[in-house]
Amino acid sequence: MAVRASREIVIDAPPEAVLDAIADIEAVPTWSSVHKHAHIVDRYDDGRPRLVKVTVKSLGLVDHELLEYHWGRDWVVWDADRTAQQHAQHGEYTLSREGTATRVRFDITLEPSTPLPHFLIKRAKKTVLTAATEGLRGFVLAGKGSLQPE
């Protein structure tokens, strides 16, 4: 059964700064408690990550994922190959300018490889949503997100 979660926040920064922070993949473990390691395998011609290997830990379970990213002017999406812990994953950030700030919507859908009790799903959702939104906000506001091709 697929698990879906979403959250919206406003970050006091322009959309370009938010996308640059998201694109700084190798820094993700510094602001996301779920991510233990992130490495860019391949980039698009503009420097944005295309294929990324990550190690994540949630509910005490460690997983290794290969993510394929696609980028737009005000969005980014990724899909994960099948892993030991999940059959599929789709994530996305959608951005919209609000004056000098940016409304950020984060959506994730994943299909665990084994059924999980509701209370564990609820705990995992909270952890992932907090990392993906509040963690991102802190990183952007600290001014640390920047696109730096290898």
Question: In this structure, is residue 15 part of a structural domain?
Answer: yes
Helix (H/G/I), strand (E/B), else coil: 148:
coil
Total number of domains in the chain: 1
Question: In this structure, is residue 150 part of a structural domain?
Answer: no
Q: Tens digits of per-residue pLDDT, 34-72?
A: 999 999 999 999 999 999 999 999 888 899 999 999 999
What DSSP character marks residue 24?
Answer: -
Mean pLDDT by 10 residues, the chain (150 residues): 94 96 96 96 97 93 95 97 92 97 97 88 93 96 59
Question: In this structure, is residue 38 part of a structural domain?
Answer: yes
Question: In this structure, is residue 71 part of a structural domain?
Answer: yes
Q: Which domain holds residue 42?
A: 3-141
Sheet holding 101-112, edge to edge: 3-11, 101-112, 86-98, 75-80, 61-71, 49-58, 35-43
Cβ atoms of residues 21 and 144 within 8 Å? yes
CATH number of the domain bearing residue 110? 3.30.530.20
- Cα–Cα distance measured from residue 81 to residue 130, given in angstroms and rounded to the nearest whole number: 24
Write down the pLDDT at residue 34. Answer: 95
Question: In this structure, is residue 147 part of a structural domain?
Answer: no
Residue type for position 83: T
Question: In this structure, is residue 148 part of a structural domain?
Answer: no
Question: In this structure, is residue 149 part of a structural domain?
Answer: no
